[in-house]
Amino acid sequence: MGLNSLSGNWSCPLSRETPAETNDVSTYNPDIDEDKIREECGLFGVIGLTDAANFIALGLHALQHRGQEAGGIVTHDPKNGFNSVRRFGYVRDNFTSSETISMLPGAIGVGHVRYSTAGSKGNTAIRDVQPFFGEFSMGGAAIAHNGNLTNANSLRRDLIQRGSIFQSSSDSECIIHLMARSMGRTIPDRMKEALRQVEGAFSVVAMTRRKLIGVRDPLGIRPLVMGKFGDATVLASETCALDIIGADFVREIEPGEMVVVNEDQTIDSYRPFEPVRPQPCIFEYVYFSRPDSVLGGKSVYEVRRNIGKELAREAPVEADMVCPVPDSGTPAAIGYSQESGIPFEMGIIRNSYVGRTFIEPTEQIRNIGVRLKLNVNRALMKGKRVILVDDSVVRGTTSRKIKDMILEAGAAEVHFRIASPPTTWPCFFGVDMPTREELLASNMTEDQMRAYIGVDSLRFVSIDGLYRAVGIPGGRDPKAPAYYDAVFTGDYPIEPKDMLEQGFELKAAE
C-alpha cells in the first residue's frame, strides 16, 4: 500500500486514535515562558519491555520541558498491530490512566512531545501531532522527529507534484513520504535514503514491528542518547529521561549515526551520511536541556554554573544579593554568587501550579501578567542592590515586568546579568523563537536594551565566555566553531533554504 492516504494506513482501527481535544491553544496564556526561546520536541523509544507504553509515558514526562503543547505514543504488539494515542496537553493529563495505557499494548514503542512552530500556532490539528505512521510493502513504521528540515518546502512541493498527499503541516511528514518512494528492501534502508535527501537538524526515533531505530543528523545539532534497562534498550532526547525509569546511560548516538536495535537486542550501527565536522547546539546547555541531564559528557548544571562564574568575572558589580529568575536562571546565579562572593538569595518565587487557561483574559488580568507565575520575596528586597540572573533576553517584555516587580518591592538598584550572549538571529533548526525583527538584541545596542528594560546595568556573557564555560579554554574559534551558535553569531552551518526563499537575509560576509 502506498502513502497517499496516510491517515488511513494504520494497522489499528482509527477509533483507537484519540480525536483532537476542544481546547483552543491560541487562548491567552499569561505565561512568562512566552518570552523564551523554546525547544520543539522530545523523543523516547523502547524495545524489549512488557507494557512499553508505561515506560514511554514516564520518559515523556521527564522530557515535558521540550514540548508542552501535545504528545503521542505508538506501540506494536502481535495481536493488535500498531496502536496510537495522540493528544493535546501535558503527559500527566493524557498518558497516566490505565484506560489510556491499555490502548497501547506491546513491548516496543516510540513517543513524542512537541511545541508547534510559530507559523502554525493556534491552527494545530491532531494530525500534526507525532509520532507519524506509514504502511509500506514490508510493514509499518512510526517516526518521531526532533529538529527542523530547512529544505522541507522544496521537498514538499516536489513530492506533491509526484502524487503524494500530505495529511499534516509538519515538515517531519516529508520523511515518511520519501521513505514510501524509496526502493530500499528494508525500512532502515528506506530511512537512510530518505534522510540523505533532507537538510537541517534531525534526531529521529522510529520503530517497525521488530526494530527500534535512532538517527542523528551529521552535525549532531539535536541530542539523542541510548540507555539500557535490564535487557531492554532505550533511546531518548536526554539522559534525564533514562533516569526517571532507572535505565543506565550507555552512550550518545553520534552525529551522522543510525542505530538499529533488533528484537534480540543486537545493535547495528551505520554511517549513512557524508562525514562533516559536528556542531551540536550550544543553546542546549544554556536553556533547552534539563539541568540534571548530561550532554556531550558534560553536566548541564555544571556548565550553567560555570556560565555564572564567567559572568561574574566579565561583568562584576557591587550588590547585596544575587537572585535568579527561576527556574532556568538558578544554576548561573549560583555560579555568579560563588565567584563574586555576593550572597545568593531566592528573591523571586515561582508558582508552578498555574493553569494555562484557567482564568478569563480580561484587561485587568493581562495587566497582572507575570505575577501569576512569579512573586517577589518582599522581605528580602527593600533597600537592597539586586543582581538578577536570567538565561536569555528575547523580546525583553518579561524582563521589564520582572524589573518593575523588584523595584515595587523596594529594591534600591536592579542589575541584569544574562547567562548567554545577545540573541540576535533566529534559529531554523528545530526551535520556536521570534523573527529577527522581534529580537531585542537585533535592533538595539546593549545600552539601548538597558534603557528599554529600565535597569541600572545590563551585561551578557561573551561568546568566548560561553565557550569557556562549556569547556573550551581558548573560547570560540570563528573559523571552526565547535558548536552550532547561530542565534548569537548569525553563522549558520547549513543555509536555511526555505527561509531564503521567503526573503530571509544571511549575515553579510565579513
Torsion of CA 262, 265, 266, 269, to 10 degrees: 70
DSSP 18: P
- Cα–Cα distance between 412 and 244 in angstroms, integer? 43
Catalytic residue set: 41
Decide the pairing of beta strands 413-418 and 457-460.
parallel
- Cα–Cα distance between 304 and 287 in angstroms, integer? 9
- Cα–Cα distance between 48 and 244 in angstroms, integer? 17
Distance of CA 149 to the CA centre of its chain: 15
- Which cell goes with 101? 495505557
- Cα–Cα distance between 142 and 209 in angstroms, integer? 9
Name beta bridge partners: 132.
143
DSSP one-letter string for 223-274: --EEEEETTEEEEESSHHHHHHHTPEEEEEPPTT-EEEEETTS-EEEE--S-
* Closest among 352, 353, 427, 349 to 394, alpha carbons compared: 427
What one-letter code names the amino acid at 379? Answer: A
Check: CB of residue 416 under 8 Å from CB of residue 388.
yes
Name beta bridge partners: 390.
418
Check: CB of residue 483 under 8 Å from CB of residue 489.
no
Check: CB of residue 431 under 8 Å from CB of residue 37.
yes
Check: CB of residue 439 under 8 Å from CB of residue 423.
yes
- Cα–Cα distance between 135 and 503 in angstroms, integer? 37
CA distances from 146 to 76, 217, 486 (A): 21, 10, 18
Decide the pairing of beta strands 258-262 and 267-270.
antiparallel
Decide the pairing of beta strands 81-88 and 38-39.
unpaired
Residue the block writes with cell 536553556: 287
| 3-state SS assignment for residue 502 | coil
- Cα–Cα distance between 224 and 250 in angstroms, integer? 11
Strand order in the sheet with 211-216: 132-136, 139-149, 200-207, 211-216, 258-262, 267-270
- Cα–Cα distance between 304 and 299 in angstroms, integer? 9
